[in-house]
Amino acid sequence: MLKLVLDTNVIISAINFDAKPELIVRLITSKRAKGYISRFIIAEVCSTLRNKFKFSPEKIDRAENILLNNFVLIEPEIIINIIKNCSADNKILACALAAKADYLISGDKKHILLLKKIKNIPILSPEQFLRLLAYKDVP
C-alpha cells in the first residue's frame, strides 16, 4: 500500500472540492493508500480554514476529525532546515521523512516542488501523482 504525505495546501484544496486533491484524499479515506500527517499539518489546516476560508468551528472540527480518523498521526523527531526561512515547509518535509513516505504530494511551486525529491522520496504535484498512479496498479 502506498504511503503518502500531503502538504497542507493539498488537504485544503481537497476540502474545498478541488477535484485532483480530493481524489488523492479519497484514496486514503477508502484505505487504498495510507496517509500520514503530523499535528503541525493538522494545526496548519485548521488555522487556514479558520482564517482564510472563514470556516465555522463545527466545520473545522469535522475536517480535523476526518484527518485524525483516516490518517496515521506521526510526530517527526527530526528537525531539518532544507528550505531556508520557511520552517513550515521544513516541517512538511520532516513528516514525509519520518513516515518513510513513498510520495510527498504538494502544490507549493515556490519551495517544495522545486526540490523534486527529499532523500529517496519523490515530491509530486497532485496532477503528477495522479498521472503516475494511472500507470500503476493500485488496489
Residue 139 is assigned to a structural domain of this protein: no
Residue 88 is assigned to a structural domain of this protein: yes
Domain count for the chain, please give it.
1
Cβ 121 vs Cβ 95: under 8 Å: no
Residue 21 is assigned to a structural domain of this protein: yes
pLDDT in tens, 33-62: 999 999 999 999 999 999 999 999 999 999
pLDDT at position 87 over 80: no
pLDDT at position 138 over 60: no
Residue 96 is assigned to a structural domain of this protein: yes
Q: Which domain holds residue 68?
A: 2-134
* Contacts of residue 89, Cβ cutoff 8 Å, sequence gap at least 6: 83, 108, 111, 112
- In sequence order, the β-bridge partners of residue 123 are 104
Q: What is the CATH number of the domain that holds 61?
A: 3.40.50.1010
What does the pLDDT read at residue 136?
67
